[in-house]
Amino acid sequence: MVRAADGVNLEIQKGEVLGLVGESGCGKSVTALSIMYLIPSPPGRIASGEIWFQGVNLLAGIQKEAYLRKGFRGKAKIVQNQGLLRKHRARMSKIRGREMSMIFQEPMSSLNPVLSIGYQIAEILIYQRRQEICNRLLSHHQLNDQDLELFREAVSNPDATERGRVLADFCLQTSLPVERVTTIIDRSGLSFDERVERVRRLSERMRLRRRWFLELVRDVDALESEMTSREWRVLSGVATPEDRQRRLAVLARYRSRQSLFRFLMAWPGIRRVLMRPIEEEARRRVLDLLKTVRIPEPHKVFQEFPHELSGGMQQRAMIAMALACDPALMIADEPTTSLDVTTQAQILKLLQDLRKRINSAILYITHDLAVIAELCDRVAVMYAAQIVEDAPVADLFAQPLHPYTQGLLESIVSLDKEVAAGAPLPTIAGTVPDLTNPPSGCRFHPRCKYAFDRCKSEEPKLIPQGANRRVACFLYDGGEAHAGA
């Protein structure tokens, strides 16, 4: 068994960018995937721990998901409670894409080759942010004097082609079906006022029908997310018995609505017609998002497939996807690693600008300390599945405490640094240990130049140093003087 992330303790505030650094194989990505509950399972499993997200413990539901059982020939076997896990996965998929999102390392392989960029982003909006879209649509057009003026023009204009054009304008403005309006106009023996009255009634009917549908969709959406968060609150032990009762009431209401909703969904014609405004609103928002991530010609890119874009554009599209749901937490797993240097700089610039505009927390995973210095507020350094140091960026670069951090900083190639000609670049000797059999005591001690006896036998805890930094090293235990730095 490999503990790929072991005793990781992180905290991200709203609007903060936390950098997570370390060599390859330190468990950075595994940490990110654990937060999203995306660990491939089997073989992966979250054995224990807590993830508190917006006041709720995301792992609350699955604490007893696995138990040991004597299997074939008395061999011990880990058995998972599949029903519990399925429920948990369903809850998590409501959180993912609504509250959390992720940017992956290779944009080319993270985008589906057979779906257009626009579709892939719109899908998230339609299925995860439907509530918001419905809200926007509900404040929809109501017939006013200006429209009636246009309608008068459409009725009274003697020129047929001109009349058609005005009529099209009118229908576009009021989102009424052209055929229905044409029938009203073409019907003989009606006075103008009667026609206006009919159009008004038509518009009102359409509005009501749409409102009815949209409210239904929105409410189901809202209830669903309310239900999951409530469930989690109960599971985390935050909730009271009254809360549990209310939860049952919500559940019952939701069920009754859902059956109605299902019935409606079974009526595909109506559904298609009524979903169209949602789809079109989603399309408008996707175009906005593409503009936000500075993709030139968003209309063109909307219809393009991933292979028609360059790597940088693909990564921008990925970022747009991550932004689509306006997440509270965005995890970026080495988003610039597979890009060339100039594109990397552009993407970093984009992320820097974005973090001012959006108020989501960002967990930025990288092994490039230069990027950390550019972008992050705080840094956590990971080594062999554990956090070894956690500090504000400026402090870390000014005075790295942990010997591993010092080693990382020393091995950066820099123009400012004087290196004697012919001297090899400084590196940290050795490699990351095999996590199936981690070294005893401090995991860094085989590679550490300050290691002493205690390091070999005892495992260091994260020790607070000053106001807001922590380090896991015995050099700083008991207020000893800083070594090294």
Pairing relation of β-strands 100-103 and 329-333? parallel
State yes or no: residue 132 binds another protein (CB under 8 A): no
Out of 16, 132, 153, 280, which residue is the one contacting another protein (CB under 8 A)?
A: 280
Is the alpha carbon torsion for 217, 219, 222, 228 positive or negative?
A: negative
Residue 296 CA to residue 84 CA, distance in Å, equals 46
State yes or no: residue 106 binds another protein (CB under 8 A): yes
Please give, one letter per residue, the 3-state secondary structure of 420-459.
CCCCCCCCCCCCCCCCCCCCCCCCCHHHCCCCCHHHHHCC
Task: Kindly state the tokens that stand for 222.
Answer: 């809202």
Pairing relation of β-strands 378-383 and 329-333? unpaired
Nearest to 274 by CA among 207, 220, 221: 207
Least gap, CB of 425 to another protein (angstroms)? 32
Out of 119, 261, 397, 450, which residue is the one contacting another protein (CB under 8 A)?
A: 119
Nearer to another protein, 290 or 408 (CB): 290
State yes or no: residue 98 binds another protein (CB under 8 A): yes
State yes or no: residue 300 binds another protein (CB under 8 A): yes
Nearer to another protein, 4 or 155 (CB): 4
Least gap, CB of 39 to another protein (angstroms)? 11
Please identify, among the stretches 70-78, 276-284, 393-401, 451-459, the one whose residues bind another protein according to the rule CB under 8 A. 276-284
Write out the binding residues for another protein, residues 381-440 only, by CB under 8 A: none
State yes or no: residue 101 binds another protein (CB under 8 A): yes
Nearer to another protein, 127 or 397 (CB): 127
Nearer to another protein, 35 or 202 (CB): 35
Check if the beta carbon of residue 61 is closer than 8 Å to that of residue 87: yes
How crowded is the C-beta side of 204, counted as CA atoms within 13 Å? 7
Indicate the helix (H) or strand (E) that contains 198.
helix 192-235
List 345's β-bridge partners, or say none.
none
Nearer to another protein, 112 or 457 (CB): 112
State yes or no: residue 104 binds another protein (CB under 8 A): yes
Check if the beta carbon of residue 46 is closer than 8 Å to that of residue 112: no
Q: Which DSSP symbol is given to 481?
A: P
Out of 127, 261, 397, 450, which residue is the one contacting another protein (CB under 8 A)?
A: 127
Indicate the helix (H) or strand (E) that contains 9.
none
Task: Kindly state the tokens that stand for 258.
Answer: 């859902």
Is the alpha carbon torsion for 243, 245, 251, 256 positive or negative?
A: negative
Task: Kindly state the tokens that stand for 150.
Answer: 């246009």
State yes or no: residue 307 binds another protein (CB under 8 A): yes
Nearer to another protein, 280 or 395 (CB): 280
**What's the first-to-final CA gap in the chain, in angstroms?**
37
Least gap, CB of 74 to another protein (angstroms)? 23
Nearer to another protein, 58 or 124 (CB): 124
Least gap, CB of 118 to another protein (angstroms)? 8
State yes or no: residue 38 binds another protein (CB under 8 A): yes
Q: Look at residue 478 and give its three-state secondary structure.
A: helix
Please identify, among the stretches 106-114, 335-343, 372-380, 442-450, the one whose residues bind another protein according to the rule CB under 8 A. 106-114
Task: Kindly state the tokens that stand for 348.
Answer: 């970093």
Beta strands in 81-204 (DSSP E): 100-103
Out of 111, 154, 234, 329, which residue is the one contacting another protein (CB under 8 A)?
A: 111
Nearer to another protein, 110 or 366 (CB): 110
The contact mask relative to another protein for 170-209 (x = CB under 8 A, - = no) is ----------------------------------------
Least gap, CB of 93 to another protein (angstroms)? 5
Residue 369 CA to residue 410 CA, distance in Å, equals 11
User: What are the distances in angstroms from CA 62 to CA 20, 41, 226, 230, 407?
Assistant: 26, 14, 20, 16, 39
State yes or no: residue 95 binds another protein (CB under 8 A): yes
List 79's β-bridge partners, or say none.
67
Write out the binding residues for another protein, residues 322-381 only, by CB under 8 A: 324-325
Least gap, CB of 108 to another protein (angstroms)? 9
Least gap, CB of 277 to another protein (angstroms)? 10
Distance of CA 173 to the CA centre of its chain: 35
Residue 125 CA to residue 14 CA, distance in Å, equals 23
State yes or no: residue 226 binds another protein (CB under 8 A): no
Indicate the helix (H) or strand (E) that contains 184.
helix 178-186
Check if the beta carbon of residue 379 is closer than 8 Å to that of residue 370: no
State yes or no: residue 116 binds another protein (CB under 8 A): yes
Please identify, among the stretches 53-61, 231-239, 275-283, 451-459, the one whose residues bind another protein according to the rule CB under 8 A. 275-283
Q: Name the residues that contact another protein, by CB under 8 A.
A: 36, 38, 90, 93-98, 100-102, 104, 106, 109-116, 119, 122-124, 127-128, 276, 279-280, 283, 299-300, 303, 305, 307-308, 318, 321, 324-325
